[in-house]
Amino acid sequence: MARIRLRLRPREYQIEALKWALAHDGAVLGLPTGSGKTLIAVMWVKELLSKHKIRKVLILEPTRVLVEQVSKYFRDVANLEATPIYGIVPKKHRVTLWRRATIAVTTPETALNDVSEVTDSGYDAIVIDECHHTTGKDAYAEFIRVTRNIFKRRLGLSAYIPPSRAAEIREYIGEIKVWGWNDPRIRPYVPCWIGEVYEAELNNAEEKLLRELEKKRNNLTGRERGLVQLAIRWFVRDGALALAESLRKPTKLAKLLQDISSFLTASVRPAHKLDSLVRVLNDHEGFRKAIIFIERVAVAKYVTSKLRIYNSVLICGKSNIDANIKEVLKRAKSNAVKVIVSTSAGEEGLDLPEADLLVIWSSVASPLRFIQRHGRILRATTVRGPPKFVAYIITPNTVDTDSFVDSIEQARKAGVDVPVSEEVIEELWRRTTRAKILSVLEEQPMPLEWLKEVLELPEDILRASLRKMMEHGDVIYIYTHLGKTYVAVESIDILQREFREYLEADPSLAAKIKVLLDTNTQRTIKGTYDSTSRRLRNILKKGERIKAILASMEIPLLGGAFKLVNLHYGFSITREEVLDVVLRNIYSAKKHHA
């Protein structure tokens, strides 16, 4: 095996797994979540490419989030250019990407849709992440079956190989070798519980329904708009059944949405997350007991009826539909019951049994409720056993993703360590509704009013989204003749091109600048552009983050008078180029506050 240059030092068991995989044309590695399977894949790809044993590698990831994450990981860790390719890229562009890429990272759905392009582009090796999906009717399985004679080298990776799927996985990928969580070399890297994110895509009819709801919302104001926004949340979080139930009630919302019923066609599933839930349960084959939290009672009842194979019971408070609540709780604790479906009633006040699999169907932003739910997993035990799992099911590119990301952030602020990969959270954050704003601001800086018109988003939602992005340091603004003009941080060079006059610091001006740091300490600096720039750059060089800058100065007017100007920049600053834009904007105040 050649010496592989990496920015991370591989562990002993990772090298052991790599050597075993390289010794087989088809190999499946089972290692626990947190043990570093992706690094093994990087080393496997680099070794085979460097020795010219393969020409091109296809990497399958179950979600678009992981496509982006793994592509970046290959670049960061091994300086390997891995090209992300998935459905959002138009087909004609994907054809070019397939041909050009040496390492292509994609979803199984995209690979299956473009199977002829993949096979014609010379890919002769494949990495199948989460390879336990390569059975049954999954897109993973269909793609592997169709291409079973195409790839001369195959590497499968999984945290758990369900016994019922082992034979099929072995047939289509290769020999299986497992390194368990109790291996003393691995145990320190495996958390007590592991968070996983599953995406539940809307189909075409459901997307159409969502667009109609958004159109209705955008044409309303005040409380009425808030009601429709709530209906949107019910739909993407819980399912069309929750929306339909609300429309049947004699309420103001039902009246507002009376023309929406026609979009609830047979193609709109009652609970679009159900397929993902079934995948969660199948992926964790052998779980002892699962608790599924669903907010709406109607959806909880429906899901319970679909999971009778697990002897499922429903808990929805004192008026439980199944029977007397004490009897239901007694049943729930029996070994025969594998699945408990619970509404918010099960979060507190009820003695639910401990579970080794928790499924969050309905995300909530409340830290207290988040902690109460996770208490079913986090209960302390005297003996360390296998890791437990929390699966979050989200509807991508909707406010459901916003709610999930917010709940994780709030939980962490409350002191709950959520072991979901930082890269996954970051990528999900970029795929919330805020991503629409970012995509616009990456192309063109603009004020709030223009953003409202372009994106057709209500102002309150737009302001809240911008505030979040500024806290993360993804969006900033400067003052121009348009007022506050927002821009994506990655595109601040556009400001110099289009708003140059508002970034030309006047060396004669002096300003008083208050800086609020991430440590909640405040510093006050006075002086010209040159002097304040030097001192503030030193703050960043020490690794401190600036949360906000307040500047005040007197601008001379004709006749000897002065105008007091106060400027506030309420966004995160960690980079010198962003700081420089802010300071240049402050010291050009004569032009934007004349």
Distance (Å, whole) CA 458 – CA 380: 45
| Structure tokens given for 431 | 């795929």
Higher pLDDT, 202 or 33: 202
Task: Give tens-digit pLDDT for 457-511.
Answer: 888 888 988 998 898 888 999 999 999 999 999 889 899 889 999 999 999 999 9
Distance (Å, whole) CA 507 – CA 83: 46
> Is it true that 12-190 and 274-429 share their CATH fold?
yes
Residue 527, number of CB atoms within 10 A of its CB: 15
User: What's the pLDDT score for residue 381?
Assistant: 46
The beta-carbon contacts of 114-119 under 8 Å, at least 24 apart in sequence, are 115/143, 115/146, 115/147, 118/58, 118/147, 119/147, 119/150
Would you say residue 320 has pLDDT above 50? no
User: What's the pLDDT score for residue 116?
Assistant: 93
User: What's the pLDDT score for residue 375?
Assistant: 66
User: What's the pLDDT score for residue 355?
Assistant: 83
Task: Give tens-digit pLDDT for 226-269.
Answer: 899 899 999 999 999 999 998 888 889 889 998 898 899 999 99
Distance (Å, whole) CA 452 – CA 239: 28
User: What's the pLDDT score for residue 322?
Assistant: 44
Compute the mean pLDDT over every residue in the chain, rounded to the nearest whole number: 87
User: What's the pLDDT score for residue 571?
Assistant: 94
Higher pLDDT, 557 or 390: 390
Minimum mean pLDDT among 50-64, 198-212, 366-380: which range?
A: 366-380
Would you say residue 403 has pLDDT above 60? yes
User: What's the pLDDT score for residue 321?
Assistant: 46
| Structure tokens given for 543 | 């690794």
Would you say residue 137 has pLDDT above 80? no
Indicate the burial class of 105 (C-beta count within 10 angstroms; 0-12, 13-18, 19 or more). buried
User: What are the C-alpha distances in Å from 551 to residues 133, 215, 379, 492, 564?
Assistant: 56, 40, 50, 21, 11
* Average pLDDT of span 120-134: 90
Q: What is the 3-state secondary structure (H, E, C) of 482-541?
A: CEEEEEEHHHCHHHHHHCHHHHCCCCCCCEEEEEEECCCCEEEEEECHHHHHHHHHHHHH
Specify the residue for token string 């995160």.
Answer: 572
Minimum mean pLDDT among 50-59, 61-70, 543-552: which range?
A: 61-70
Pick the CATH number of 12-190 from 1.20.272.10, 3.40.50.300, 3.30.70.260, 1.10.150.120: 3.40.50.300
Q: Where are the domains of the chain?
A: 12-190, 204-263, 274-429, 443-592
Would you say residue 531 has pLDDT above 90? yes
Provide CB contacts within 8 A for 184, sequence distance 6+: none
Distance (Å, whole) CA 303 – CA 34: 31
User: What's the pLDDT score for residue 495?
Assistant: 92
User: What's the pLDDT score for residue 231?
Assistant: 93
Q: Do 526 and 510 contact (CB within 8 A), yes or no?
A: yes
Distance (Å, whole) CA 204 – CA 218: 21
User: What's the pLDDT score for residue 350?
Assistant: 55
CA nearest to 61, candidates 128, 133, 141, 119: 128
Would you say residue 331 has pLDDT above 90? no
Higher pLDDT, 163 or 323: 163
- DSSP structure class, residue 344: G
Higher pLDDT, 354 or 584: 584
Residue 178, number of CB atoms within 10 A of its CB: 14
Would you say residue 382 has pLDDT above 50? no
User: What's the pLDDT score for residue 587?
Assistant: 95
CA nearest to 148, candidates 168, 178, 176: 168
* Average pLDDT of span 14-37: 93
CA nearest to 581, candidates 458, 488, 454, 460: 488
Task: Give tens-digit pLDDT for 72-101.
Answer: 899 989 889 999 998 767 788 899 999 999
Provide CB contacts within 8 A for 269, sequence distance 6+: 203, 206, 239, 240
Specify the residue for token string 């190999």.
Answer: 27
Residue 44, number of CB atoms within 10 A of its CB: 24
Distance (Å, whole) CA 215 – CA 208: 11
The separation between the first and the last C-alpha atoms of the chain, rounded to the nearest angstrom, is 68
**SS3 (DSSP) at 118:** helix
Would you say residue 64 has pLDDT above 90? no
Would you say residue 284 has pLDDT above 80? yes
Q: Which CATH architecture has domain 274-429?
A: 3-Layer(aba) Sandwich (3.40)
Distance (Å, whole) CA 342 – CA 354: 13
Q: Do 67 and 104 contact (CB within 8 A), yes or no?
A: no
Q: What H or E segment, with its residue span, contains residue 44?
A: helix 37-50
Would you say residue 368 has pLDDT above 80? no
* Average pLDDT of span 148-155: 92
The DSSP bridge partners found for residue 30 are: 158, 178
pLDDT above 70 coverage of the chain, percent: 91
List the beta strands (DSSP E) in 49-184.
57-60, 82-85, 103-106, 125-128, 153-158, 175-178
